[in-house]
Structure 1
């Protein structure tokens, strides 16, 4: 039996048309792994280079999923730029979904 995530319909939209992206524990853990030994205060400062003003406290909440249910596309894309990763990698998209989106080898 396929999981709910495997059954999800994939719809391609420009990020400018997306109000928020669902944030999960898995995505928080991935964010933490991608951050490595970079302090949260440094990450917060680096995000300002991409016009994202976000506190280290909120970044910590994103990593631990404390009350964070959604993230803006602007925050997500800035995180990808700072980490040097793809959107698919940060969002932990399954390889089957990645193929459907036309993204190659993200993980």
Structure 2
């Protein structure tokens, strides 16, 4: 399936089974962050954190109490996302192909 994909094609991925913690889970989460809807969620959350991060003065300088980053891409069984295919993603997708269902 990956051989027939061209740059710019819209591809839908689905997680076929539960993922163990570790490299496979991180790679799938990184691929999920290429979905435009997830990108928008992360961008909006980052902007909100930037505007609302509490600060206080300690020792004559400003300290920032930074909240944790948003986890919008959670790779669980059945999670589906759509993204634009680029050839640079090929090795990442091949390394986790055993847990993904790919549709063009």
TM-score, with structure 2 as normaliser: 0.30
- Greater share of residues in strand: 2
- Greater share of residues in helix: 1
TM-score, with structure 1 as normaliser: 0.30
Larger Rg: 2
